[in-house]
Amino acid sequence: MKFERVVITGGAGFIGSHLCEHFINTGAHVVCLDNFSTGRWENLEPLLPSGRLEVKSVDITEGIDVPGQVDAVLHFASPASPVDYLGMPIETMKVGSLGTFHALNLARSKAARFLFASTSETYGNPQVHPQPESYWGHVNPVGPRSVYDEAKRFSEALTMAYRRSHGVDTAVIRIFNTYGPRMRRGDGRAIPTFIAQALSGDPITVAGNGTQSRSFCYVDDLVAGIAAMLRSAEPGPLNLGNPEELTVAQVAGRIKELTGSSSPLVFVDRPQDDPDLRRPDIAAAHRLLGWKPTVSLDSGLKRTISWFRRPDTVATPAGMIA
């Protein structure tokens, strides 16, 4: 299946900009829609010389207007770091409701394939481990994190409603913790925070006692999975993530070793509703898409650390929320 013109909401963000790059490299014309609340222009600048990137600074909760042919709509617009969605709770709910309506209506009007970027957060603090797509989750619907969790759960339901009621060609993916170059300064998530702290010689702040687990997927692997899902006929939802499970303390220690840092590990309070366990069951993605991650944690961390060593990307560390 060939996509000549692709719309990516949130295309200036961490994952979104990597998707813009991927589709430009395949020869597609990409329309990036972003309000730049968390996305960054610097993520897109290297792509402009291609002549195949169109950038529109818009708030998609107010509507989407993209004239001409559209073959695919990838809906990635949303604050994704807890620091961001806890700081923009209403905006997060709006982009996961009104924004999803507008993105789906664009796909419907263009007869385009629609891919929605959901999240492992739909599983909440899981009572089933690892998490298969059949698991309905264990989410606190009124806690602080619910603005993100429930926005994504609503968007999944809306996507399936458009598929059933309007015949829109839809796909849903559930993204597990992802890392790599272009993560924003002050992002607040574990890996960029640990790297920034290690490089600056500040204490590496580990939430709780660090025994909570996560599964980290390098961004190139994730993009390959997204592209495979888009080019398939699968509706999902499908988990995309790396099933290698590590404790947060183990990841912090590995980053300290790889950076050669003398920073001490310091344990701080855990946020409310912080999940104890997180590991994707990716059997379905492997079976249906032929996809599985190939980049090891050490390899991915080395690439990410190298990027963070650049003078324009080493940031004053923020508090970590995994």
Burial class (CB in 10 A: 0-12, 13-18, 19+), 314: middle
Residue 321 has pLDDT above 70, yes or no: no
Residue 120 lies in a domain: yes
Q: Is residue 41 part of a domain?
A: yes
The residue type at 201:
G
The catalytic position among 85, 148, 179, 218 is 148
Cα angle for residues 307, 311, 317 (degrees, 5° grid): 80
Residue 195 belongs to some domain of the structure: no
The model's pLDDT over 21-39, given as tens digits with 9 standing for 90+, comes to 999 999 999 999 999 999 9
Residue 208 lies in a domain: no
* 32 within some domain: yes
Angle CA 80–316–40, to nearest 5: 45
Whether 243 shows a pLDDT value over 60: the answer reads: yes
130 secondary structure, DSSP code: S
pLDDT, residue 150, reads 97
Residue 307 lies in a domain: no
Q: Is residue 85 flagged as an active site residue?
A: no
Return d(Cα 202, Cα 165) in angstroms, integer.
54
For residue 188, what pLDDT is reported?
84
User: How many domains are contained in the chain?
Assistant: 1
- What contacts 48, CB < 8 A, 6 or more positions away? none
CATH of the domain at 57: 3.40.50.720
User: Is residue 170 a part of any domain in this protein?
Assistant: yes
Average pLDDT over residues 128-150: 96
Asked if 277 and 126 touch (Cβ cutoff 8 Å), the reply is yes
Instruction: State pTM to two decimals.
Output: 0.94
Domain span including residue 117: 5-177+217-240
Give the rounded percent of residues in the chain with a pLDDT score beyond 90: 90
Nearest to 243 by CA among 130, 136, 161: 130
Instruction: With respect to residue 12, please indicate whether it lies within any of the assigned structural domains.
Output: yes
